[in-house]
């Protein structure tokens, strides 16, 4: 099973009106390797940039204006994906894994659409795996002990080290997500 752990940083919370500025993660192609990736990109001219979102992910307008254009970043991202799967084979896709995966998945799907690429589904199986849901399942009897269900809070609760200054960098968040997934599943195969 080919897995991809993904996290995005965005210019807001709405994938239709806001844009992607960082997409990062880890490809686990099933052969023992773990391959990191980390791409930045300028939001598209149609994407609204919210100051509060930039504050959360510690990014400035000056920084995002220096990022590569979105089409270049998407090309580099899909070129990387193409190294591991055959997008023309319906059975050869990644399992998309994230913390609050629907958020990241929807931003990447809409990002593809905005860049006139209808082939998001050629790369990723549906549905994705949401590590947040795995965590809440493990915490059915203890959910009330957590003040919130942010990635950092849940990781800390399960004993994972969290470096606060690195949160909201999508590569770091994807790393925490992968560690939490591995802890929650204990490396178990998800299906026989």
Instruction: Note the pLDDT tens digit of each residue in 60-109.
Output: 999 999 999 999 999 999 999 999 999 999 999 999 999 999 999 999 99
Report which of 11, 126, 114, 27 is spatially closest to residue 67, judged by C-alpha positions.
Answer: 11
Residue 122: give the domain boundaries.
3-131
The pLDDT-based confidence of 188 (bands split at 50, 70, 90) is low
- Domain annotation covers residue 95: yes
- Domain annotation covers residue 160: no
H or E segment and range at residue 25: strand 20-28
H or E segment and range at residue 74: helix 70-82
The pLDDT-based confidence of 186 (bands split at 50, 70, 90) is confident
CB 44, CB 11: distance < 8 Å: no
> What is each CA distance from 100 to 67, 78, 105, 158, in whole angstroms?
25, 22, 9, 17
Domain count, the chain: 1
- Domain annotation covers residue 140: no
Q: What is the CATH number of the domain that holds 119?
A: 3.30.420.10
User: Does the structure show a pLDDT above 60 at 189?
Assistant: no
Predicted model pTM: 0.94
Instruction: Note the pLDDT tens digit of each residue in 109-159.
Output: 999 999 999 999 999 999 999 999 999 999 999 999 999 999 999 999 999
- Domain annotation covers residue 116: yes
């Amino acid at each position: 099973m080919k897995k991809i752990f993904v996290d995005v940083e965005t210019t807001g919370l709405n994938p239709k009106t806001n844009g992607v500025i960082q997409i990062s993660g880890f490809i686990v192609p099933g052969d023992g390797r773990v391959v990191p990736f980390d791409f930045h990109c300028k939001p598209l001219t149609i994407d609204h940039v919210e100051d509060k979102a930039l504050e959360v992910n510690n990014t400035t307008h000056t920084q995002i204006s220096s990022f590569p254009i979105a089409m270049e970043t998407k090309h580099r991202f899909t070129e990387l994906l193409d190294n591991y799967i055959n997008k023309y084979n319906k059975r050869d896709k990644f399992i998309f894994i994230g913390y609050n995966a629907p958020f990241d998945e929807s931003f990447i799907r809409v990002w593809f659409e905005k860049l006139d690429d209808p082939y998001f589904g050629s790369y990723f199986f549906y549905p994705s795996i949401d590590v947040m849901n795995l965590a809440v399942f493990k915490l059915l009897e203890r959910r009330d002990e957590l003040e919130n269900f942010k990635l950092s809070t849940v990781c800390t609760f399960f004993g994972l080290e969290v470096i606060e200054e690195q949160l909201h960098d999508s590569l770091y968040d994807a790393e925490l997500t992968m560690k939490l997934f591995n802890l929650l599943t204990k490396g178990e195969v998800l299906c026989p």
